[in-house]
Amino acid sequence: MVVEIKKVGVIGSGQMGSGIAHVCAVAGFEVQLNDISRDRIQSGLASINGNMARQVSKGQLSEEERTAALSRIVAAESMDELGEVDLIIESAVENEQIKRKIFSQLCPLLKPEAILATNTSSISITRLAATTDRPERFIGIHFMNPVPLMELVELVRGIATEDETFEAARVFTRKLGKTIAVAEDFPAFMVNRILLPMINEAIYTLYEGVGSVEAIDTAMKLGANHPMGPLQLADFIGLDTCLSIMQVLYEGLADTKYRPCPLLVKYVEAGWLGRKTQRGFYDYRGDVPVPTR
Protein backbone atom coordinates (compact mmCIF):
# COMPACT_ATOMS: atom_id res chain seq x y z
CA MET A 1 0.00 0.00 0.00
CA VAL A 2 1.26 3.46 -0.89
CA VAL A 3 1.36 5.73 2.16
CA GLU A 4 -0.91 8.77 1.92
CA ILE A 5 1.15 11.77 2.96
CA LYS A 6 -0.77 14.41 4.90
CA LYS A 7 1.68 15.69 7.50
CA VAL A 8 5.25 16.66 6.58
CA GLY A 9 8.20 17.38 8.85
CA VAL A 10 11.05 19.55 7.56
CA ILE A 11 14.45 19.45 9.27
CA GLY A 12 16.31 22.71 8.66
CA SER A 13 14.73 26.15 8.33
CA GLY A 14 17.31 27.83 6.13
CA GLN A 15 16.79 28.91 2.53
CA MET A 16 16.01 25.41 1.27
CA GLY A 17 14.11 24.10 4.30
CA SER A 18 11.89 27.17 4.57
CA GLY A 19 11.23 26.98 0.83
CA ILE A 20 10.19 23.33 1.12
CA ALA A 21 7.90 24.13 4.06
CA HIS A 22 6.44 27.01 2.02
CA VAL A 23 5.45 24.91 -1.00
CA CYS A 24 4.15 22.07 1.15
CA ALA A 25 1.86 24.40 3.10
CA VAL A 26 0.58 26.11 -0.05
CA ALA A 27 -0.22 22.66 -1.47
CA GLY A 28 -2.37 21.87 1.56
CA PHE A 29 -0.03 19.73 3.67
CA GLU A 30 0.36 20.21 7.42
CA VAL A 31 3.99 21.14 8.09
CA GLN A 32 6.19 20.97 11.16
CA LEU A 33 9.42 22.97 10.81
CA ASN A 34 12.40 21.97 12.95
CA ASP A 35 15.88 23.40 13.45
CA ILE A 36 18.58 23.50 16.13
CA SER A 37 17.20 26.63 17.81
CA ARG A 38 13.98 28.59 18.24
CA ASP A 39 15.60 31.67 16.69
CA ARG A 40 16.45 29.79 13.50
CA ILE A 41 12.91 28.43 13.21
CA GLN A 42 11.46 31.91 13.73
CA SER A 43 13.80 33.30 11.08
CA GLY A 44 12.61 30.60 8.67
CA LEU A 45 8.96 31.35 9.42
CA ALA A 46 9.61 35.07 8.83
CA SER A 47 11.18 34.26 5.45
CA ILE A 48 8.16 32.15 4.50
CA ASN A 49 5.80 34.94 5.51
CA GLY A 50 7.76 37.48 3.44
CA ASN A 51 7.98 35.23 0.40
CA MET A 52 4.26 34.48 0.50
CA ALA A 53 3.53 38.20 0.82
CA ARG A 54 5.52 38.76 -2.39
CA GLN A 55 3.48 36.06 -4.11
CA VAL A 56 0.30 37.87 -3.03
CA SER A 57 1.61 41.19 -4.38
CA LYS A 58 2.33 39.49 -7.73
CA GLY A 59 -1.10 37.87 -7.90
CA GLN A 60 0.35 34.35 -7.58
CA LEU A 61 -1.45 33.72 -4.29
CA SER A 62 -4.55 35.25 -2.71
CA GLU A 63 -4.43 36.73 0.79
CA GLU A 64 -6.83 33.99 1.94
CA GLU A 65 -4.55 31.29 0.52
CA ARG A 66 -1.55 32.88 2.21
CA THR A 67 -3.30 33.02 5.58
CA ALA A 68 -4.43 29.41 5.25
CA ALA A 69 -0.97 28.21 4.22
CA LEU A 70 0.74 30.00 7.11
CA SER A 71 -1.72 28.42 9.55
CA ARG A 72 -0.59 24.96 8.36
CA ILE A 73 3.05 25.55 9.41
CA VAL A 74 3.98 25.08 13.05
CA ALA A 75 7.35 25.22 14.79
CA ALA A 76 8.71 21.93 16.09
CA GLU A 77 11.43 22.99 18.52
CA SER A 78 12.23 19.39 19.40
CA MET A 79 12.47 16.31 17.18
CA ASP A 80 10.20 14.61 19.72
CA GLU A 81 7.33 16.61 18.22
CA LEU A 82 7.76 14.94 14.81
CA GLY A 83 6.50 11.51 15.81
CA GLU A 84 3.25 11.63 13.84
CA VAL A 85 4.51 12.94 10.48
CA ASP A 86 4.04 10.80 7.38
CA LEU A 87 7.12 12.19 5.62
CA ILE A 88 10.29 13.80 6.95
CA ILE A 89 12.41 15.89 4.57
CA GLU A 90 15.91 16.57 5.87
CA SER A 91 17.34 19.83 4.53
CA ALA A 92 20.35 20.46 6.73
CA VAL A 93 23.80 21.65 5.64
CA GLU A 94 25.45 19.59 2.86
CA ASN A 95 27.60 17.57 5.26
CA GLU A 96 27.24 13.80 5.39
CA GLN A 97 28.18 13.41 9.05
CA ILE A 98 25.63 16.00 10.14
CA LYS A 99 22.94 14.31 8.07
CA ARG A 100 23.82 10.90 9.52
CA LYS A 101 23.55 12.29 13.05
CA ILE A 102 20.13 13.80 12.30
CA PHE A 103 18.76 10.50 10.97
CA SER A 104 20.15 8.49 13.90
CA GLN A 105 18.42 10.85 16.35
CA LEU A 106 15.21 10.97 14.32
CA CYS A 107 14.49 7.33 13.50
CA PRO A 108 13.53 6.11 17.02
CA LEU A 109 11.00 8.96 17.29
CA LEU A 110 9.05 8.22 14.09
CA LYS A 111 6.14 5.89 13.47
CA PRO A 112 7.21 2.74 11.57
CA GLU A 113 5.46 3.65 8.32
CA ALA A 114 6.93 7.17 8.08
CA ILE A 115 9.03 7.90 4.99
CA LEU A 116 12.45 9.52 5.29
CA ALA A 117 13.69 11.83 2.55
CA THR A 118 16.80 13.92 2.12
CA ASN A 119 17.16 17.10 0.09
CA THR A 120 20.87 16.44 -0.42
CA SER A 121 22.19 17.82 -3.69
CA SER A 122 25.08 15.38 -4.03
CA ILE A 123 25.50 12.76 -1.27
CA SER A 124 24.73 9.06 -1.84
CA ILE A 125 21.13 8.17 -1.03
CA THR A 126 22.12 4.53 -0.52
CA ARG A 127 24.80 5.46 2.00
CA LEU A 128 22.54 7.79 3.98
CA ALA A 129 19.70 5.23 3.93
CA ALA A 130 22.01 2.58 5.38
CA THR A 131 22.41 4.65 8.55
CA THR A 132 18.66 4.47 9.26
CA ASP A 133 16.32 1.76 10.52
CA ARG A 134 14.28 1.90 7.28
CA PRO A 135 16.43 2.02 4.12
CA GLU A 136 13.48 0.68 2.11
CA ARG A 137 11.49 3.79 3.15
CA PHE A 138 14.26 6.27 2.34
CA ILE A 139 14.49 8.41 -0.81
CA GLY A 140 16.15 11.52 -2.20
CA ILE A 141 13.79 14.42 -2.95
CA HIS A 142 16.09 17.12 -4.31
CA PHE A 143 14.41 20.51 -4.67
CA MET A 144 15.95 23.35 -6.65
CA ASN A 145 16.63 26.80 -5.18
CA PRO A 146 14.54 28.94 -4.74
CA VAL A 147 12.00 26.22 -4.05
CA PRO A 148 8.78 28.23 -4.57
CA LEU A 149 9.96 29.38 -8.03
CA MET A 150 11.82 26.40 -9.46
CA GLU A 151 9.69 23.74 -11.15
CA LEU A 152 12.05 20.77 -11.05
CA VAL A 153 12.51 18.12 -8.37
CA GLU A 154 14.97 15.25 -8.75
CA LEU A 155 13.74 11.96 -7.26
CA VAL A 156 16.61 9.62 -6.40
CA ARG A 157 16.19 6.04 -5.25
CA GLY A 158 18.76 4.28 -3.11
CA ILE A 159 19.52 0.64 -3.79
CA ALA A 160 17.04 -0.42 -1.07
CA THR A 161 14.22 2.05 -1.83
CA GLU A 162 10.96 0.16 -2.33
CA ASP A 163 8.53 0.87 -5.15
CA GLU A 164 5.86 1.98 -2.65
CA THR A 165 8.22 4.63 -1.23
CA PHE A 166 9.06 5.92 -4.68
CA GLU A 167 5.38 6.06 -5.66
CA ALA A 168 4.43 7.93 -2.48
CA ALA A 169 7.23 10.45 -3.12
CA ARG A 170 6.15 10.83 -6.75
CA VAL A 171 2.51 11.51 -5.80
CA PHE A 172 3.60 13.96 -3.10
CA THR A 173 5.93 15.86 -5.44
CA ARG A 174 3.25 16.19 -8.11
CA LYS A 175 0.82 17.57 -5.54
CA LEU A 176 3.35 20.35 -5.01
CA GLY A 177 2.99 21.23 -8.68
CA LYS A 178 6.57 20.22 -9.46
CA THR A 179 7.97 18.42 -12.50
CA ILE A 180 9.88 15.25 -11.67
CA ALA A 181 13.19 14.09 -13.12
CA VAL A 182 14.24 10.62 -11.91
CA ALA A 183 18.00 10.37 -11.33
CA GLU A 184 20.21 7.40 -10.53
CA ASP A 185 22.13 7.41 -7.25
CA PHE A 186 25.46 8.71 -8.55
CA PRO A 187 27.44 11.60 -7.02
CA ALA A 188 25.58 14.94 -7.49
CA PHE A 189 22.80 13.19 -9.49
CA MET A 190 21.97 15.08 -12.74
CA VAL A 191 21.56 18.82 -12.29
CA ASN A 192 24.61 19.38 -10.09
CA ARG A 193 26.70 16.81 -11.97
CA ILE A 194 26.39 19.17 -14.96
CA LEU A 195 26.02 22.56 -13.27
CA LEU A 196 28.74 22.53 -10.60
CA PRO A 197 31.64 21.56 -12.89
CA MET A 198 30.61 24.49 -15.09
CA ILE A 199 30.71 26.82 -12.09
CA ASN A 200 34.03 25.32 -10.98
CA GLU A 201 35.45 25.89 -14.48
CA ALA A 202 34.28 29.51 -14.35
CA ILE A 203 36.18 29.90 -11.06
CA TYR A 204 39.28 28.37 -12.70
CA THR A 205 38.86 30.89 -15.53
CA LEU A 206 38.95 33.66 -12.92
CA TYR A 207 41.81 32.00 -10.99
CA GLU A 208 43.96 31.74 -14.12
CA GLY A 209 43.33 35.36 -15.07
CA VAL A 210 41.46 34.63 -18.29
CA GLY A 211 38.76 37.11 -17.32
CA SER A 212 37.46 39.20 -14.44
CA VAL A 213 34.36 38.33 -12.39
CA GLU A 214 32.29 40.79 -14.37
CA ALA A 215 33.68 39.69 -17.74
CA ILE A 216 33.06 35.98 -17.06
CA ASP A 217 29.48 36.54 -15.92
CA THR A 218 28.73 38.90 -18.81
CA ALA A 219 30.22 36.43 -21.30
CA MET A 220 28.00 33.59 -20.12
CA LYS A 221 24.86 35.71 -19.83
CA LEU A 222 25.17 37.25 -23.27
CA GLY A 223 27.19 34.55 -25.04
CA ALA A 224 25.33 31.49 -23.75
CA ASN A 225 22.01 33.16 -22.87
CA HIS A 226 22.24 32.14 -19.22
CA PRO A 227 19.89 34.15 -16.96
CA MET A 228 22.63 34.52 -14.35
CA GLY A 229 26.42 34.42 -14.65
CA PRO A 230 28.16 31.35 -13.13
CA LEU A 231 29.98 33.35 -10.44
CA GLN A 232 26.82 35.22 -9.50
CA LEU A 233 25.04 31.86 -9.37
CA ALA A 234 27.78 30.40 -7.15
CA ASP A 235 27.24 33.26 -4.69
CA PHE A 236 23.50 32.57 -4.75
CA ILE A 237 23.96 28.83 -4.10
CA GLY A 238 26.61 29.42 -1.42
CA LEU A 239 30.30 28.82 -2.05
CA ASP A 240 30.48 26.32 0.83
CA THR A 241 27.74 24.27 -0.83
CA CYS A 242 29.51 24.51 -4.20
CA LEU A 243 32.74 23.27 -2.60
CA SER A 244 30.96 20.41 -0.82
CA ILE A 245 29.40 19.20 -4.07
CA MET A 246 32.70 19.42 -5.96
CA GLN A 247 34.40 17.43 -3.20
CA VAL A 248 31.69 14.74 -3.43
CA LEU A 249 32.20 14.57 -7.21
CA TYR A 250 36.00 14.52 -6.92
CA GLU A 251 36.06 11.83 -4.24
CA GLY A 252 33.11 9.80 -5.56
CA LEU A 253 34.17 9.64 -9.22
CA ALA A 254 37.97 9.74 -8.72
CA ASP A 255 38.46 11.99 -11.74
CA THR A 256 40.78 15.01 -11.66
CA LYS A 257 38.41 17.01 -13.84
CA TYR A 258 36.26 17.47 -10.73
CA ARG A 259 39.08 18.90 -8.57
CA PRO A 260 37.73 21.99 -6.74
CA CYS A 261 39.43 25.18 -7.84
CA PRO A 262 41.92 26.43 -5.19
CA LEU A 263 40.31 29.86 -5.39
CA LEU A 264 36.95 28.37 -4.39
CA VAL A 265 38.66 26.70 -1.42
CA LYS A 266 40.30 30.01 -0.44
CA TYR A 267 37.01 31.94 -0.51
CA VAL A 268 35.33 29.32 1.68
CA GLU A 269 38.26 29.34 4.11
CA ALA A 270 37.92 33.13 4.32
CA GLY A 271 34.23 32.79 5.16
CA TRP A 272 33.28 34.52 1.91
CA LEU A 273 30.37 32.23 1.11
CA GLY A 274 28.32 34.47 -1.19
CA ARG A 275 25.07 36.25 -0.56
CA LYS A 276 24.44 34.67 2.84
CA THR A 277 27.64 36.23 4.26
CA GLN A 278 27.44 39.39 2.10
CA ARG A 279 30.72 38.57 0.33
CA GLY A 280 31.75 36.03 -2.25
CA PHE A 281 32.71 36.73 -5.85
CA TYR A 282 30.69 39.90 -5.30
CA ASP A 283 30.51 42.20 -2.28
CA TYR A 284 26.84 42.70 -1.37
CA ARG A 285 27.29 45.15 1.51
CA GLY A 286 26.45 48.22 -0.58
CA ASP A 287 23.47 49.21 -2.66
CA VAL A 288 24.93 47.51 -5.77
CA PRO A 289 26.96 44.23 -5.79
CA VAL A 290 30.65 44.92 -6.57
CA PRO A 291 33.05 42.23 -7.91
CA THR A 292 35.70 41.23 -5.36
CA ARG A 293 38.29 40.39 -8.06
Q: Which helix or strand (DSSP H or E) is residue 10 part of? A: strand 7-11
pLDDT tier for residue 187 given thresholds of 50, 70 and 90: very high
Residue 1 has pLDDT above 90, yes or no: no
* Cβ-Cβ contacts under 8 Å for 240 (sequence gap 6 or more): 94, 268, 273
pLDDT on residue 52:
97
Eight-class DSSP state of 274: B
Residues 11, 36 contacting (CB under 8 angstroms): no
Assess whether pLDDT exceeds 80 at residue 2: no
pLDDT in tens, 258-274: 999 999 999 999 999 99
Chain centre distance of CA 236:
12
State how beta strands 7-11 and 87-90 pair. parallel
Q: Name the percent of the chain lying above pLDDT 90.
A: 99
Q: Residues 24-34: what's their mean pLDDT?
A: 98
Q: Return the amino acid letter for 101.
A: K
pTM exceeding 0.75: yes
What was the pLDDT predicted at 3? 77
Residues in the chain, how many?
293
Q: Is the pLDDT assigned to residue 166 strictly greater than 90?
A: yes
Active centre residues (catalytic): 121, 142, 154, 192
Phi, psi of 193 (to 5 degrees): -65, -30
Task: Tell me the per-residue pLDDT of 83-103, one tens digit each, with 9 for 90 and over.
Answer: 999 999 999 999 999 999 999
The predicted model gives 121-130 an average pLDDT of 96
